[in-house]
Structure 1
Amino acid sequence: MPYITARDGVRLYYEEAGSGTPIVFVHEFGGDSRSWEPQMRYFTRRYRCITYAARGYLPSDVPEDVERYSQQIAVDDIADVMDGLGIDSAHVVGLSMGGFATLHFGLRYAARARSLVVAGAGYGAEKQYEEYFRNVSLEVARKFEELGAPEFSKTYAQAASRIIFQVKDPRGWQEFADMLAEHSSIGSARTMQGVQARRPSIYDLEAELRRMQVPTLVIVGDEDDHCLQPGIFLKKTVPASGLLVLPKAGHTINLEEPALFNQFVGDFLATVEQGKWLPRDPRSQPAEIMKTS
């Protein structure tokens, strides 16, 4: 199996296919390197595509020390994967936990980010739910440790924002749930404790986000309730950003709506490559309703 060794010695499993400008796909908490298969199959026609399993996700290493997991470490792992493959800069596409890491990558490694796709990123960001999210993250970690992934995945896979996926595509949802059941129980618990429960709210990053010039596409489903307002916040804050809201869609959006996801991301990448994805024109003032003079 192909591995890249991160700066702290943790081995990260990766897959790559295609040639051309690189795209790095960063998976969500409930997914793994396999979660991007519809995108790998589509984008390898024109791009060099890389997907990898985050630390704590087999067949990558699963450190037992919670201090080997954090938002910053997750961001550095993206850079280490790129370094290991000799990639100077890439388009980075992330979902949920991976979307947060992608956004932070744009802040920390802006020169190496050709663009960012930040999908389904919002859980724990809303200030009024911040304490609840941290507590429920720790409870989820406890459940993974006590019950194990094969058993607790049956509950986790039926979260509110994944029901629409189950309803519209039972076969696709079942495949997602089956993969979740194969995750490392310890890796899932440590990821929840070290990354999810400790990461900062994106609202606390407003000043940094306003300075970030990386072209960014924010994607949310309209039934992914706790990502909607954070998505609007990112649109209003990140200068060169666009917001895509897909109707009747939930959290697992790249698997739930692969055709739409691929279409819009493909158009976004092409626009970026042409140098046409620009910051909002300063003449377009958000406070203005009608022009009178």
Structure 2
Amino acid sequence: MAFASTSDGYKLFYEEAGSGTPIIFVHEFGGSHWSWEPQLNFFARRHRCITFAARGYAPSDIPADVEAYSQVRAADDIIDVLNAAGIEKAHVVGLSMGGFATLHAGLRHPGRVLSLVAAGTGYGAEKAHEDYFKGISEQVAHNFETRGAPDFAPTYAEGASRVQFQDKDPRGWALFAERLGRHDAKGAANTMRGVQMRRPSLYDMEADFRAMQAPLLVMTGDEDDHCLQPGIFLKKVVPRCGLAVLPKSGHTLNLEEPALFNHLVGEFIAQVEAGRWGPRDPRANPAQIMRTE
């Protein structure tokens, strides 16, 4: 088992497969390093693939103090894993919580990223729902602590943007829910309180995103309602951003639609490496409806 040492003294488990240009995969709150198995199976054929368990997720360290968890730390942990693996630059692919960490890593460490994929990223970002998101996040943290992960996992896994996965792939969803039930309750609660509840809204970071030069692919399901508008926002403000909306899809995109997810990410990375993922053509003026002269 391989472990990376973080700059604040914790250990993060990581594993890798394949060879070639590196890709590091950053998991969501409801997943862990195992969430990316369909991607490692596919991309390891031509890339060096890294996946890791975030702090709070066994077999990585599970700090007891909630102050050891933050959005900044989540972004910096990505770089600490790259350092441990001896990787200077990598494509960074994140889902949900991992998508937020991916975006922040791109802003904080632009020299370490080749490109960014932020999938299912937006929960808590909508200004109108900030207070609601914080309140429901506290309830989720409380439920993990009081009910335990095995009891609460089936409830969490059957959320409004997860049932699409359950409907399409009952066996895959059941495995997701069962693995979620193995999470450390304290690690889950601390992650929810320290990272999810405290992270800044994407809309408050508009100036930073307008200055971002990394190629970015934003992916969202069309039934992942609270990620749709944040995805459009990122498309509008990040210069080299593309937006993919997957039809009849929810939040757990990489497991719910693995073939389509892999195809879109693979095409994106291929275009980036060919130097073909540039900023929007200035002739594509969003204020124009039709050209008249």
Judge same fold: TM > 0.5, yes or no. yes
Report the Cα distance in structure 2 between the residues aligned to 1:173 and 1:223, rounded to whole angstroms. Answer: 17
Partner secondary structure for residue 228 of structure 2: helix
Question: What is the Cα deviation at residue 245 of structure 1?
Answer: 0.3
Report the Cα distance in structure 2 between the residues aligned to 1:84 and 1:282, rounded to whole angstroms. Answer: 41
Match of 1:130?
A: 130
CA deviations on 1:38-90 (whole Å, 9 max, x unpaired) are 00000000000000000000110000100000000000000100111111110
1:43 partner amino acid = F
Question: What is the Cα deviation at residue 131 of structure 1?
Answer: 0.7
Task: Provide runs of 4+ in structure 1 moved above 4 Å.
Answer: none
Match of 2:43?
A: 43
Match of 1:111?
A: 111
Report the Cα distance in structure 1 between the residues aligned to 2:112 and 2:8, rounded to whole angstroms. Answer: 21
- Mapping of 1:1-293 within 5 angstroms? 1-293=1-293
- Structure 1: which 5+ runs fail to align? none
Report the Cα distance in structure 2 between the residues aligned to 1:192 and 1:11, rounded to whole angstroms. Answer: 19
Report the Cα distance in structure 1 between the residues aligned to 2:291 and 2:248, rounded to whole angstroms. Answer: 35
Partner secondary structure for residue 269 of structure 2: helix
Please report the RMSD computed on the Cα atoms of aligned residues, expressed in angstroms: 0.6
CA deviations on 1:135-179 (whole Å, 9 max, x unpaired) are 111111011001111111121011100011101110010010011
CA deviations on 1:223-254 (whole Å, 9 max, x unpaired) are 10100011111111110010000001000000
Partner secondary structure for residue 173 of structure 1: helix
1:284 partner amino acid = A
The two structures have a TM-score, normalised by structure 1, of 0.99
Report the Cα distance in structure 2 between the residues aligned to 1:151 and 1:13, rounded to whole angstroms. Answer: 26
Partner secondary structure for residue 116 of structure 2: strand
- Structure 2: which 5+ runs fail to align? none
Report the Cα distance in structure 2 between the residues aligned to 1:10 and 1:143, rounded to whole angstroms. Answer: 26
1:73 partner amino acid = R
Report the Cα distance in structure 1 between the residues aligned to 2:177 and 2:30, rounded to whole angstroms. Answer: 9
Partner secondary structure for residue 161 of structure 2: helix
Say how many residue pairs are matched. Answer: 293
CA deviations on 1:185-218 (whole Å, 9 max, x unpaired) are 0000000000000000000000110010100000
Partner secondary structure for residue 24 of structure 1: strand
Report the Cα distance in structure 2 between the residues aligned to 1:157 and 1:107, rounded to whole angstroms. Answer: 31
Report the Cα distance in structure 1 between the residues aligned to 2:110 and 2:88, rounded to whole angstroms. Answer: 11
1:19 partner amino acid = S
Question: What is the Cα deviation at residue 16 of structure 1?
Answer: 0.3
Report the Cα distance in structure 1 between the residues aligned to 2:58 and 2:151, rounded to whole angstroms. Answer: 17
